[in-house]
Amino acid sequence: MNKPIRRSDRQHTIKLPDGELFQLRYVRPDDGARLEEMFSHASPEDIHFRCLGAVHDFAGKMAEKFTSLDPETEAAIIATTLPESGPEEIFGIVHIAQEHADSETAEYDIMVRSDFKAHGLGYQLMTEILLCARRRGLKAVTGTISADNFKMLQMVAEHGFRSRRTEDNAVEVRVDFAELDARLEAELSGS
């Protein structure tokens, strides 16, 4: 059985390449209104990329989903403004979900506010959720990406994911931690 996530774990500050500071922490049940506000900034294109289609009441449904996670099978990390900078705002979220508590694989999903793209926040969130998956004892993380979401495909490739295009204009991606470790070790040893 994998280790459940305690929501108080791993709260820390990150610095983006442009100098912007954010706090990364696990989602709490009281984050609903802040999550709904973040999701209300989503462009139609981002909703399409996130859901591979349109969703009625996207902001409300996503906020409800992420504030009622099962800690045995799910974890979600958010990027928030620092507490000293005023009312807390959420700028991004990343989530993993296992099919059941004994699964060795989890599926990820991620979203950064549409008005705050290209700052490196998504990259930092992806790195953090992969570390979370490793701490849980998972062996792999998977995802499904729209084939025209080039920035996401590039980001997951940079994190070591392998990709396979499907017939329905989607790309299935997967990172196996043992395989990734072996590739990194080979690169470091010059093999």
Looking at residue 59, its pLDDT comes to 67
* Any domain includes 104: yes
Residue type, 139: K
* Any domain includes 7: no
Looking at residue 181, its pLDDT comes to 82
| Domain tally, the chain | 1
* Any domain includes 62: yes
In angstroms, the CA 138 to CA 141 distance is 8
Domain around 122: 12-186
> The CATH number of the domain where 52 resides is what?
3.40.630.30
Contacts of residue 125, Cβ cutoff 8 Å, sequence gap at least 6: 24, 77, 79, 92, 93, 94, 110, 112
* Any domain includes 5: no
pLDDT in tens, the chain (191 residues): 555 555 555 688 999 999 999 999 999 999 999 998 988 887 777 776 766 555 556 667 777 878 889 989 999 999 999 988 888 999 999 999 999 988 999 999 998 988 888 889 999 999 999 999 999 999 999 999 989 889 999 999 999 999 999 988 899 999 999 998 887 788 787 75
For the entire predicted model, the pTM comes to 0.86
In angstroms, the CA 161 to CA 176 distance is 8
* Any domain includes 162: yes
Contacts of residue 172, Cβ cutoff 8 Å, sequence gap at least 6: 142, 143, 144, 163, 164, 165, 166
Q: How does DSSP assign 113-170, residue by residue?
A: -GGG-SSSHHHHHHHHHHHHHHHTT-SEEEEEEETT-HHHHHHHHHTT-EEEE-TTSE
